[in-house]
Amino acid sequence: MTLSDLDPAERHRTVAGTFAERARGAKDWDAPAPVPGWTARDVVRHLVEWFPGFLAGGAGITLPAGPGVDDDPVAAWQNQYDSVQAVLDDPATATRVLTNPHIGEVPLDQAIDRFYTSDVFMHTWDLARATGQDDRLDEGFCAALLGGMEPMEEIIRNSGQYGPRVAVPSDADAQTRMLGFIGRDPFWTP
């Protein structure tokens, strides 16, 4: 079974678990990351800080507070991972929706999957590359994400969430093409 075949709860468990492995393997939290101006710690900070407000504002769910990223980025991530997984594993989630002025009403598990788990997946590369770890991502899921984003390129670029597309070789693999699409230099090194 591929990452694309998993349901939102299992995909989160897998993707966030891989991110947790990279967080536990990080040795230098002040190492530069592929996102300009960010460090490895900032990659974790981004994920831990933006999503709780999105979830609270759109679904009325408040995630439990955890350790701060500055104090313990690994524990901060583990708290977030466990908290989001608990939401996805809750049988009541199947009947809940997330409402947002930009996306309308979306079933809660699908909203978490599309906006958050996908973000964790892409930022796994950032953290791995910043900390010198295995940065290979699931090729099939890279291709699926790219296929879903390309038709919305203008909206995505105008959101300010992605940098300008980085040119990659025409015969590049799906991971390289996805990274270039989201504004990362796939050949970036610290």
pLDDT of residue 2: 87
Residue among 62, 57, 33 at smallest CA distance from 122: 33
Residue among 18, 30, 28 at smallest CA distance from 120: 18
pLDDT band per the 50, 70, 90 thresholds, residue 155: confident
pLDDT of residue 130: 98
Whether residue 77 contacts residue 45, with contact meaning beta carbons closer than 8 Å, is answered with no
- Domain locations in the chain as residue ranges: 3-135, 138-190
Of all residues in the chain, the percent with pLDDT exceeding 70 is 100
On average, the pLDDT of the chain sits at: 95
pLDDT of residue 31: 98
Q: Is 9 exposed, middle or buried (0-12, 13-18, 19+ CB in 10 A)?
A: buried
> Which is it for the CA torsion 133, 134, 137, 138, positive or negative?
negative
Mean pLDDT score, 133-156: 93
Whether residue 36 contacts residue 140, with contact meaning beta carbons closer than 8 Å, is answered with no
pLDDT of residue 101: 85
Of all residues in the chain, the percent with pLDDT exceeding 90 is 87
pLDDT of residue 163: 84
Q: For residue range 65-122, what is the model confidence (pLDDT) as tens digits?
A: 999 999 999 999 999 999 999 999 999 999 999 998 888 899 999 999 999 999 999 9
Class of domain 3-135: mainly alpha
Whether residue 166 contacts residue 186, with contact meaning beta carbons closer than 8 Å, is answered with yes
pLDDT of residue 156: 82
pTM above 0.85, yes or no: yes
Mean pLDDT score, 152-179: 90
Mean pLDDT score, 131-153: 95
